[in-house]
Structure 1
Amino acid sequence: MATAELVLGLLSGGPAHGYDVKRGHDAWFPDSRPLAFGQVYTTLGRLERDGLVEVVDKTSGGGPDRTVYALTSKGRDHLTDWLNDPVPPAWGSADEVLRKLVAAVRTGGDAAGFLARQRANHLRRIRELRETPADDDPTSPLVREYIVAHLDADLRWLDTALDRISEQRGTRS
Structure 2
Amino acid sequence: MSTSHVLLGLLAEGPKHGYELKRAHDAHMPRAKPLAFGQVYATLGRLQRDGLVAEGDRDREGGPERTSFALTAQGRERLDAWLSEVEAPAPFVASALLAKVVVALLAADGRRAGVYLAAQRAAHQQRLRELTAAKLDPESGLGDVIAADFAISHLDADLRWMDTTIARVADPNRGVRS
Normalising by structure 1, we get a TM-score of: 0.85
Give the unaligned 5+ runs of structure 2: none
Distance 1:61 1:92, change over 3 A: farther
The partner residue of 2:115 within 109, 113, 116 is 113
**1:153 match:** 157
Aligned partners of 1:140, 1:118: CA distance in 2, in Å?
24
Aligned partners of 1:19, 1:73: CA distance in 2, in Å?
23
**1:97 match:** 97
Letter in 2 for 1:148: I
The partner residue of 1:164 within 162, 165, 168 is 168
Q: How does 1:124-139 map to 2 (within 5 A)?
A: 124-132=126-134, 133=137, 135=139, 137-139=141-143
Q: How does 1:16-27 map to 2 (within 5 A)?
A: 16-27=16-27
Paired residue secondary structure (1:168): coil
8 Å Cα contact 2:52/2:71 also seen in 1:
yes
Percent of residue pairs identical: 46
Aligned partners of 2:92, 2:63: CA distance in 1, in Å?
40
Letter in 1 for 2:157: A
Letter in 2 for 1:76: R
Letter in 1 for 2:67: T
The reply on whether 1:67 has 2:71 as its aligned counterpart is: no
Paired residue secondary structure (2:35): coil
Distance 1:135 1:46, change over 3 A: farther
8 Å Cα contact 2:16/2:69 also seen in 1:
yes
Give the unaligned 5+ runs of structure 1: none
Further displaced range: 49-58 or 14-23:
49-58
Letter in 1 for 2:126: R
Cα shift at 1:92: 8.9
The structure whose Rg is larger is 2
Letter in 1 for 2:163: D
Further displaced range: 30-39 or 118-127:
30-39
8 Å Cα contact 1:134/1:140 also seen in 2:
no
Letter in 2 for 1:31: R
**1:7 match:** 7
8 Å Cα contact 1:101/1:115 also seen in 2:
yes
Aligned partners of 1:90, 1:150: CA distance in 2, in Å?
14
8 Å Cα contact 1:101/1:111 also seen in 2:
yes
Letter in 1 for 2:90: A
Aligned partners of 1:93, 1:49: CA distance in 2, in Å?
35
Aligned partners of 1:149, 1:162: CA distance in 2, in Å?
20
